Chains A and B, each alone.
Chain A
Amino acid sequence: GQNIDQPTEMTATEGAIVQINCTYQTSGFNGLFWYQQHAGEAPTFLSYNVLDGLEEKGRFSSFLSRSKGYSYLLLKELQMKDSASYLCAVSDSNYQLIWGAGTKLIIKP
């Protein structure tokens, strides 16, 4: 079966750095996505990785290792507004997105 694993919840301090991990087992791979979802709102796109390595976009970076079936989202200089759920999703061989359950990130002052 297809599976995406990510921690259920993480806590971090304002101004700090946090890394949210995602491991996956899917039939085929056509890219990995990270979305942010604030409580009661819709998911919004953060990043897309299809090749191994690090993609940096402002305070957010996303890393992919296809051989390990592993990705992480790195958030730097945390702000209170970063409190949200972070969803990892993999595009499989049919270009269908397989979603993880999400990681709820709590930022404390």
Chain B
Amino acid sequence: NAGVTQTPKFRVLKTGQSMTLLCAQDMNHEYMYWYRQDPGMGLRLIHYSVGEGTTAKGEVPDGYNVSRLKKQNFLLGLESAAPSQTSVYFCAGGTGKDTGELFFGEGSRLTVL
């Protein structure tokens, strides 16, 4: 089992460019999440999904869009990248809200110049 896999692992963008981060999971998780992690701050939730075809906004959704067309994939899009979006992005999956244990991908380091 691969678990939760993110691609790409690293990316450098120029301001205004667009890109998509892909999260794929083979753990049959209903819930999937996109977080960003910045120095000195806790993980912040960008968007999440409670099942195929559903998405919802988290704490910091502005500038990002997501889609969950298939249960195993959760895509995070940046339509027009800004330097403030320089961060490490983590995707996570979970079975639901009861236990809350999350399984994280390895992270994607994005730099916006």
Contact = CB atoms under 8 A, between A and B. Distances in A.
Interface string B33-62: 000000011111100000000000010000
A101 B40 contact: yes
Interface stretch (A38-46, A54-62, A68-76): A38-46
Contacts of A87: 42-43
B97 A42 contact: no
Interface of B is mostly: loop
Interface string B55-84: 000100000000000000000000000000
Contact of A30 (B45, B97, B102): B97
Given A43-B90, A96-B45, A48 B100 contact: yes
Contacts of B43: 43, 87, 89, 97, 99
Interface residues of A, number: 23
A45 B97 contact: no
Given A99-B42, A100-B42, A102-B42, A48 B99 contact: yes
B57 to A, nearest CB: 11
Contact of A42 (B45, B90, B99, B100): B90
Given A41-B106, A98-B42, A101-B41, 16 more contacts: A4-B42, A31-B99, A33-B100, A41-B107, A42-B90, A42-B105, A45-B102, A87-B42, A89-B42, A91-B100, A96-B45, A97-B43, A97-B45, A97-B102, A99-B42, A102-B42
Interface of B: 40-45, 58, 90, 97, 99-107
